[in-house]
Structure 1
């Protein structure tokens, strides 16, 4: 049986932890709820899934190559809440105490780090599980790569293989960037083509396969939709570039460094005591 490498989308998990419960703080007034829930989530993952290898992908501070392509990329997102920013040093201490490597690269997002790590182990006898709530990462699903998503406040776990991606989106994993190129993504402020929603995007891709082939055969698209697509061709192609995960991030990678190890219990207990967590 192949060993399993679990790769956690760090910021996706962090924000989910932050919004999972109301504000909590220590008796000293230090915000603590994101650290508490993130600790619970990661420990639950380790205990229940027992991965052979585990790593966390993180968004490096600063602009990315997507910001250079499109100034308005993610412009609609609010700044990180101050009480969450205060917890970041404790989150870093949590990762260190769990002895889980964190991978980040200036100029790239965690998505790109994940895509690159998947590419780096493509020739290994490994099953890769990406733990994220980000639909963009479904494009990485393949026979040896799946996505584990935890949905909403219910905590429902959805395991995406290629069949599950097709069931949910109506396209193959590799077509996810093409879907987003047409319908856009309000979360990341990817513009897409005005007036083209998910159903129309999926229908077009069922007929043409890719955005490139769609534009090569635009004469086959009827009426007003053809005019709209023609008028926003550059925007559609830009949107696909924004939605495509890079697999060429310049990072060092040593698989053995990701092997799951016993936590540094003294450091972990010290962190939990400092944060006044009594039920972990």
Structure 2
């Protein structure tokens, strides 16, 4: 079964795989009990992943689907800043076997899995989103606000919120309305304030409130640096003391939209084989398969 868009512009749903999988795992293991199949393999994250994605599929009705993944071994960013993501805890033991299992499941659902050695899922998403937006509408499903830098007239970013089926769908207009920022300014904001989750500091002593005020006043990091004489002395001193880290943090925050991916829109056409879906759902004991395949 190929999902059709009634002859209109194709629609691509791009999935931030790890973001969904981690969210699904913690949402279904908070009580300490992790669901396992009859073979003793944990499947709670797989089930949660499919429910989250299934809801988005019913909402978007995409003609094309692709799921992007991080690979073990890190990315080029760690070569420039060895501490990058160095504060991340190890994945829970019950989640680890689900990393490869979910890829088998998504493939069985007719979804293309994509990754690139030395690049993050964000880079794969950015590369394909920009490529596909030339001929289709693109929707990115994630919990990662870094991906807001990709928002444009043909690319919407769906940020998962608490509650099933609850998303904030960011278009350029909504991003400007909610945060008074453009997509490009998301990068410069992160360059200034850093990112504790990714473990890079930005300018020490400048937090989100100050960073936001500076970006809104001077439009960009370049605008700030061109108006150093107009900054409060304390802020100017902090930026001058951390200028190299400011530039490095902005680079680390920037999604690379030139990842080496030999993937075209036609490769992501969503085709569902009912027998394959039924078989994999039986293996992972997922009982909601009919909500996917009708």
TM above 0.5, one fold?
yes
SS in 2 for 1:87: helix
Q: CA deviation at 1:42?
A: 2.1
Distance in 2 of aligned mates of 1:130 and 1:233: 33
Question: Is 1:257 the equivalent of 2:264?
Answer: no
Equivalent position of 2:65 in the other structure: 54
Distance in 2 of aligned mates of 1:135 and 1:202: 15
Q: CA deviation at 1:28?
A: 3.2
Deviation above 6 Å: which 4+ runs of structure 1?
none
TM score, norm. by length of structure 2 = 0.90
Contact 1:151–1:158 (Cα < 8 Å) also in 2: yes
2:279 to 263, 270, 273: 270
Contact 1:169–1:202 (Cα < 8 Å) also in 2: no
Distance in 2 of aligned mates of 1:244 and 1:33: 33
Deviates more, 1:136-145 or 1:89-98: 89-98
Contact 1:57–1:110 (Cα < 8 Å) also in 2: yes
User: C-alpha offsets along residues 112-163 of structure 1, whole Å, 9 cap, x if unaligned?
Assistant: 0111112223432x11111111111100101111101111346521110112
User: C-alpha offsets along residues 188-240 of structure 1, whole Å, 9 cap, x if unaligned?
Assistant: 11211122122211111122111122112211101211111111111111110
**Structure 1 unpaired stretches of 5+:** none
Question: Is 1:227 the equivalent of 2:227?
Answer: no
2:91 to 70, 80, 84: 80
Question: Is 1:20 the equivalent of 2:30?
Answer: no
Distance in 1 of aligned mates of 2:67 and 2:288: 24
**Structure 2 unpaired stretches of 5+:** 1-7, 290-294
Distance in 1 of aligned mates of 2:241 and 2:67: 41
Q: CA deviation at 1:60?
A: 2.0
Question: Is 1:90 the equivalent of 2:97?
Answer: no
Change (3 A) 1:27 1:77: same
Q: Report 1:130-145 matches (<5 A).
A: 130-145=140-155
TM score, norm. by length of structure 1 = 0.94
Aligned residues: 278
User: C-alpha offsets along residues 44-68 of structure 1, whole Å, 9 cap, x if unaligned?
Assistant: 2223321011111111221211000
